Chain A
Amino acid sequence: MLRMPEPDQNTLARRKDIIAAMRDIIPSPGGVIVDDDQLRPYECDGLMAYRQLPMIVVLPENTQQVADILKYCHTHKIRVVPRGAGTGLSGGALPMADAITISMMKFNRVLDIDWDNRAAVVQPGVTNLGITRAVEHEGFYYAPDPSSQIACSIGGNIAENSGGVHCLKYGLTTNNVLGVEMVTIEGEILRIGGKGLDQAGYDLLGIVTGSEGLLGIVTEVTVRILRKPETARALLLGFNSSEEGGNCVAAIIAAGIIPGGLEMMDAPAIKATEEFVQAGYPLDVEALLLVELDGPQVEVDYLIDRVGKIAKDCGAVYSRISENEEERLLFWSGRKNAFPAIGRISPDYMCMDGTIPRGRLSEVLTGMQNLSKQHGLGVANVFHAGDGNLHPLIMFDANKPGDLEKAEAFGADILKLCVAVGGVLSGEHGIGVEKRDLMGEMFTTDDMKHQERIKMAFDEDQLLNPGKVFPTLHGCGELKTLHAKAVADKFPDIPRF
């Protein structure tokens, strides 16, 4: 069972004073939420298995209010949970009983579009798709596209370093963000990065991106916008085994082709989605590849042809090319609805998010089938084949006693398998609370302590989003102590000159 830091009784006892202080900072009606029924919508994020009512929710409207709130929390040692749109899948915005949840959803304005520098400056509560909506009339878009893009906020994307289906070609959030304004727990307003490509000092923008709300609260974001490709076409390719499908992916890349999207689904996922949306997927194949090429028309036509030939050489038993935009979107509709499709055939499902070296795919899928038998639960797989990010969907019934625990154990085994073949625990959903206790599978205590030391540089009192990412929070004193074992005598074996 998930263990969170014990609530601080002293803070709980001061709740009334804290509410009054928050109302002084945010005078607008509705800016400070204190009643249980109104706190209820904030009790979880996209990871609904874990719930906790926050002590208070505040909705600041400007950077100064965020600074004042954090300064107050720092002075009075009150814990803070930052929250964007609440779509996160790893519980990064899971509230705490003694913490103020700071919702950033009133920061919803697009501030400036700088076409000449191909940059958009937006507030963190703007949705991912909202950025594209704001620039598409000039033929631009924002590249990272997590599947929740209609709802998720760019601030949350920064916190989680969100991905999407186009990462192989266009990168993750971290490769597409140019700068942020961020407030520290001390209430200091920092500007990190900007429209220029270099910044003085250490790469703080790089470390803030993906820090899951543990380092500060982002109040403004500058992102790179790209010209929308002239056109895009997709191929559906069916194979008799996931191994052949994986080999085809390798062959496409070996030919020097980097598709905009490169997705794979296994037989259970194909069947479930086809029954749900009738995308026209073949039901007699073991693996289905969805390859999307984007760019100028001449390029797309040329590459579609080349990929088609490569697929044939790799033993594709099914091949279909989208002939128009409608058909391309139909191809995608299956993949994009894979999660709800599984939700239709199973009362509940748990979505995992490991990444593996692509070449180990068939081995991992076989291992997963064995685990499925062992745990007695079904699993369907959708796979960002281009970048190795695997989304096994574990099917279970939360109303059945013991099923949730079984699913959690199965999920943990899958992630351990990913790490064992050279992969990682999370490709795009983040660690949050969900994978927190598995961090030790990938990192040594020293590895994690070095990460925590970065945390210490920003938030020495560990007030920002406690209980997330790190399984154990080491005290500041312990992190600062030098271990005697490290201090060696001059080692005789080292060649010296």
Chain B
Amino acid sequence: MVDVLSPTTPDQLRDAVGWALGSETPLEIIGSGSKRAYGHNVQTNAVLDCSKLSGILFYQPEELVISARAGTPLAEIKAALAEKNQQFHFEPGNFPGLLDASNGPDAGTIGGLVACNIAGPRRIKVGAARDHLLGFEAVSGRAEDFKSGGRVMKNVTGFDLSKLMAGAFGTLGVMHTVTLKVMPNDETSATVIVACSDPRAAGKAMTLAMRSENEVSAAAWIAPEDAPHLDVPLAGEYGSGLVVLRIEGPQPSVAWRADALCRALADFGECHEVPESHSHSIWKVVADVAPFAAAENSDSTLWRVSVPPASGGDVCAQLIEKAGGRAMMDWAGGLIWLQVPGSDIPAATVSAVRDIAAAAGGQAVLVRASGELRKTIPVFHPENPALARINAKIKENLDPHGILNPGRIAPISQNGEGA
């Protein structure tokens, strides 16, 4: 039977990890469990459930900062921010919805969001969760409290461990408190839509848009078959794929830049400006990767391929050609979502995807796949061996007995190694 420990205070959290350390009992660490299917399965006899470490500790809109216990539901935090017309600038979408159909919108906790370093369409301009985490407090695998950073946005006091904790999937420490930078919502936004079915041409259009002086805050491409997902009256009429480009800021500036962008992209195809009322829904679809949501795509495998943005169009075309399936681009081509039919795909397809990504200087992560597939291949892109050695030492130094989420990032190999 699996033992579930649910600490309600940071002290209890430390004691729970202390018990695990003393009894050498590895822990699976979860918040609400919404992203449990991301990465490798952690098979342990004990689960450390952090969802009771919950609540906003302070939120100061004029200081652009919020601090909360890691188990605070994201929905609660988003509601608090919305009330003050603010947001997380890195625009996390409904990532859990890609993993499991039972995850509702805004599923998950703030700690989970940070631990997985989630980021949405605006990443191309403002970065990911890592760039907005100002500080944290945690318990390491040594069962000791440690913290880093603070609550101010300009801080170079000591090593920036916040960067390390964001994206570490709980393998270095269990965060109980996180403090993040927030930003005001923009006064308005507009979306420029260009009809474009060929991913290579779409890549070129997005690159041109990003190089322009129009401060594009998000650039994505939706394939013809997925274009109807965009709740835009125009989308259905095109019958083609769409490049979507977002402009945000004060009203007169947005209007001026959207016009300029349309003019700059005239050569790529028919160009339209979508007003704010529809702009929001378009970017929710992109942030949530709605066309590939688990609910409608149960029997499929989903890849997240990250490459230098300007090579995205070319990589996207190659992926569709070699691996089959459907694709969508975000981050001006820097992020390609590739959905391949079937939840168990041949090894040749796996290596084709990884090889194409690597050849472009990028990487491919398996986001949704059958449990079997996730057991047999590394979910995350294999690390460069020299970096892997340093990562292994960091893991060993912070979690010497390997009790925190063992095997979550790299599957446990025969000889028991792995993070």
Q: Which residue of A188, A387, A480 contacts B154 across the interface (Cβ within 8 Å)? A: A387
Residues of A within 8 A of B183 (CB): 258
Chain A's interface: helix, strand, loop or mixed, by majority?
loop
Residues on A with C-beta less than 8 A from B184 are 253-258
Interface residues of A in 146-200 (CB under 8 A from B): 160-161, 163, 167-168, 171-172, 174-175, 184, 188, 190-192, 194-200
- The answer to whether A298 and B252 touch across the interface, beta carbons within 8 angstroms, is yes
Not counting A161-B160, A299-B256, a sample of 6 additional A-B residue pairs whose C-beta atoms are within 8 angstroms of each other reads A190-B387, A204-B387, A486-B142, A491-B16, A491-B18, A494-B16
Stretch of B35-43, B220-228, B275-283, B303-311 that contacts chain A: B303-311
Task: Report chain A residues within 8 Å CB of B104.
Answer: none
| Closest residue of A by beta carbon distance from B147 | A447
Shortest C-beta distance, B284 to chain A (Å), equals 20
Contact partners of B380 in chain A: CB under 8 A: 200-201
| Given A203-B163, A258-B183, A487-B143: A116 in contact with B207 (beta carbons within 8 A) | yes
Q: Is the CB of A196 within 8 A of B21?
A: no
Is B229 at the interface (CB under 8 A from chain A)? no
Task: Provide the bound-state CA to CA distance between A117 and B85, in Å.
Answer: 32
B256 x A387 contact (CB < 8 A):
no
Are A163 and B382 in touch, CB under 8 angstroms? no
With A295-B253, A494-B12, A496-B4 given, is the CB distance from A197 to B334 under 8 Å? yes
Are A443's CB and B147's CB within 8 A? yes
Whether the Cβ atoms of B310 and A357 lie closer than 8 Å is: no
The minimal Cβ–Cβ distance linking B129 to chain A, given in whole angstroms, is 11
Closest CB in chain B relative to A218 CB, distance in Å? 15
Chain B residues within an 8 Å CB radius of A192: 387
Closest to B398 in A: A453
Chain B residues with CB below 8 A from A323, complex form: none
Whether the Cβ atoms of A202 and B381 lie closer than 8 Å is no
| Whole-angstrom CA separation of A303 from B253 in the bound complex | 10
Measured in the bound complex, the distance between the Cα atoms of B60 and A357 in whole Å is: 10
B146 touches A450 (CB 8 A): yes
Contact with A along B101-140 (1 / 0, CB 8 A): 0000000000000000100000110011011000000001
Collect the chain A residues with CB atoms within 8 Å of residue B164's CB. 202-203, 206-207, 454
Asked whether A454 lies within 8 Å of B212 as measured between CB atoms, the reply is: no
User: Are A482 and B400 in touch, CB under 8 angstroms?
Assistant: yes
- Please indicate the chain B residues that have their CB under 8 angstroms from the CB of A211 in the complex: 159-160
B133 CB to closest chain A CB (Å) equals 10
Distance A229 CA – B213 CA, assembled complex (angstroms): 7
Interface residue stretch chosen among A67-75, A104-112, A424-432: A424-432
Give chain B nearest CB distance to A30 CB in angstroms. Answer: 32
Residue of A nearest to B15 (CB): A491
Residue B186 is within 8 A (CB to CB) of chain A in the complex:
yes
Closest to B21 in A: A487
Question: Shortest distance in angstroms between A418's beta carbon and chain B's nearest beta carbon?
Answer: 9
A302 to B5, CA, bound (A): 55
Q: How far is the CB of A172 from chain B (nearest CB, A)?
A: 7
Contacts of B331 in A (CB 8 A): 197
A139 and B130 in contact (CB under 8 A), knowing A355-B154, A456-B397?
A: no
Best-surrounded residue of B15, B143, B152, B362 (most CB of chain A within 10 A): B152
Known A-B contacts A427-B156, A454-B161, A458-B390; the reply to A488 vs B15 at CB < 8 A is yes
On whether the beta carbons of B163 and A174 are closer than 8 Å, the reply is yes
A357 touches B63 (CB 8 A): yes
Output the residue of B163, B166, B183, B331 with the most chain A CB within 10 A.
Answer: B163
Q: Tell me the complex Cα distance, A495–B16, Å.
A: 10
Residues in B whose Cβ lies below 8 Å from that of A91: none
Q: Which residues of B contact A253 (CB under 8 A)?
A: 62, 64, 184
Q: How large is the interface on B (under 10, 10 to 19, 20 to 34, 35 or more residues)?
A: 35 or more
Q: Is B78 an interface residue (CB 8 A)?
A: no
- Asked if B123 and A197 sit within 8 Å, CB to CB, the answer is yes
| Chain B min CB distance to A244 (Å) | 15
- B322 interface contact, C-beta 8 A: no
- Give complex CA distance A488, B18 in Å: 5
A227 on interface, CB distance cutoff 8 Å = yes
- CB proximity of B258 to chain A, nearest CB, Å: 11
Q: Are B308 and A194 in contact (CB under 8 A)?
A: yes
Q: A295-B249, A359-B60, A487-B21 are in contact. Are A454 and B159 (CB under 8 A)?
A: yes
Closest to B360 in A: A196
B3-45 contact mask (Cβ, 8 Å, vs A): 1 or 0: 1111110001011101101110000000000000000000000
Q: In whole angstroms, what is the CA distance A483 to B256 when docked? A: 62
Pick the contact of A388: B61, B152, B383 (CB < 8 A).
B152
Q: Which A residues touch B382, using CB under 8 A? A: 200
Between A and B, 9 residue pairs with Cβ closer than 8 Å are: A172-B154, A184-B390, A203-B167, A207-B159, A257-B184, A423-B150, A446-B145, A488-B143, A493-B15
Residue in A closest to B17 when the chains form the complex, CB atoms: A486
Chain A, residues 438-455, CB within 8 Å of chain B (1/0): the string is: 010011101111110111
Output the least CB separation between A35 and chain B (Å).
Answer: 35
Establish whether residues A197 and B128, one from each chain, have CB atoms under 8 Å apart when the complex forms: yes
A117 adjacent to B308 (CB under 8 Å): yes
Closest to A442 in B: B157
Q: A171-B127, A358-B63, A482-B21 are in contact. Are A469 and B158 (CB under 8 A)?
A: yes
**Neighbouring B residues of A429 by C-beta, 8 Å:** 156
As a 0/1 sequence over residues 249 to 265 of chain A, the CB contacts with chain B under 8 angstroms (1 = contact) are 01001111110000000
Collect the chain B residues with CB atoms within 8 Å of residue A230's CB: 213
Complex: A204 Cα to B252 Cα, angstroms: 41
Query: Which A residues are in CB contact (< 8 Å) with B361?
Result: 194-196
How far is A302 from B396 in the complex, measured between Cα atoms in Å? 54
Tell me if A356 is interfacial: C-beta within 8 Å of chain B.
yes
Task: Mark contacts of A370-386 with chain B using CB atoms, 8 A cut-off: 1 yes-contact digit, 0 otherwise.
Answer: 00000000000000100
Give the complex CA separation of A114 and B131 in angstroms. Answer: 23
Q: B151 interface residue, CB < 8 Å from A?
A: yes
Contact A160–B257 (Cβ < 8 Å): no
Q: Are A457 and B154 in contact, CB atoms less than 8 angstroms apart?
A: no
In the assembled complex, the Cα of A431 lies from the Cα of B21 at a distance in Å of 33
* Complex Cα gap A424–B49 (Å): 32
Bound together, the chains give a CA A222 to CA B99 distance in angstroms of 34
Select from chain B the residue with minimum beta-carbon distance to A203.
B163
A residues in contact with B409, CB < 8 Å: 201
In the complex, which residue of chain B has the Cβ closest to the Cβ of A140? B211
Once A482-B21, A495-B8 are accepted as A-B contacts, the answer to whether A426 and B156 lie under 8 Å apart by CB is yes
A490 touches B23 (CB 8 A): yes
Among residues of A, the one whose C-beta sits closest to the C-beta of B16 is A494
A359 to B78, CA, bound (A): 23
B250 within 8 A of A: yes
**Given the complex, which residues of B lie within 8 Å of A427, measured CB to CB?**
152, 154-156
Nearest B residue to A170, CB-CB: B126
Instruction: Please tell me if the beta carbons of B6 and A422 are within 8 angstroms of each other in the complex.
Output: no
Q: Is A479 an interface residue (CB 8 A)?
A: yes
- Nearest Cβ in chain B — how far from A259, in angstroms? 12
The residue in chain A whose Cβ has the minimal distance to the Cβ of B365 is A198
- Interface flags, B359-401, vs A, CB<8A=1, else 0: 0011101000000000000001111101110110110111010
